[in-house]
Amino acid sequence: MPNVKTLVQRGERFTPGHRACSGCGFPIMVRLVLKATELPVVVGSATGCLSVTSALYPFTAWEVPFIHNAFENAAATMSGVETAYRALRKKGRIDREIRFIAFGGDGGTYDIGLQSLSGAMERGHRLLYICYDNGAYANTGIQRSGATPRGANTTTSPVGRNLAGKPQPRKDLTAIMAAHGLPYVAQAAIAHWNDMVAKVEKALATDGPTFINILTPCRLSWGIDPDQTVDIVREAVNSCYWPLYEVADGRWQINYQPKEKSSYIDWLRRQNRFRHLFRPENTHLLAELQAEVDRNWESILRKCEMSLA
């Protein structure tokens, strides 16, 4: 596991002074991700909260080369950068190891950028793609995305007489990426920083395309106080809504199993985006949502057991 003292000594590659909201999850995530290696890193970011708060010309919070591109093509852009790097190394014009990381929110990853991501992974570029999953198109008005949990209130799945929030379950993007047969895929969370940094280290050390999905709350769209960001992620993991696991060369492994699994319903209760579910006319949905999380958790456990067989 990563050593705290070592990480502190590596300095900052993502600096204070950005325009992210107080309590936002992605600055925590980005700072730790960039501390996971001492090698030079080139970063690309899809349009989203991360790019528009950290790189408003002529200002930048990035202490590494940074590319801001369109909503849908972060993976394609970084594929080209990685290919150019390999060509220059063959010609002897670059003689050092460089790593490449693409960041995208769930809107730019689960939905709009999925074809770009799938193509980059299938082609085999040595590239780490990180999705910072906050469960909505938070930067453009809090619309529902493929990552939005069932029952969440968003501007495009608004609560009303005929709708109790988003009616569809969230897409399992981590499993979709594992189905690509990548050498390394993982799911992580900012509350478990040591697990997250260890996974980034593994991904960057892997010779091939890698993917990590990281739970990073948007405290505005979730409806939580700024000081609750890390704690609510911890509860998401303990409730098994967001399991921590990795898939290395096809072998599934759970990285954290709660000693006492907490209630997903209690996790929902803490967020304003789900408060309508606790009205008398909607409470029947709570048991369905808890059962959905339980089924998903059992499915992952079975995959891990099969990998050990």
| Nearby residues of 85 by Cβ (< 8 Å), 6 or more positions away | 42, 94, 98, 100
Give pLDDT, residue 6: 86
Helix (H, G, I), strand (E, B) or coil at 183: coil
DSSP 185: E
d(CA 176, CA 268): 25
**Phi and psi torsions of 193, nearest 5°:** -65, -35
Residue range 41-78, pLDDT digits in tens = 999 999 999 999 999 989 999 999 999 999 999 999 99
How many other C-beta atoms are found inside a 10 Å radius of the C-beta of residue 88?
13
Q: What's the pTM value of the predicted model, to 2 decimals?
A: 0.97
Give pLDDT, residue 261: 96
Structural domains of the chain in order of their starting residue, each with its CATH number: 4-308 (3.40.50.970)
**Phi and psi torsions of 89, nearest 5°:** -65, -40
Q: Are 134 and 159 in contact (CB under 8 A)?
A: no
Give pLDDT, residue 97: 97
**Bridge partners, 147 (sequence order):** none
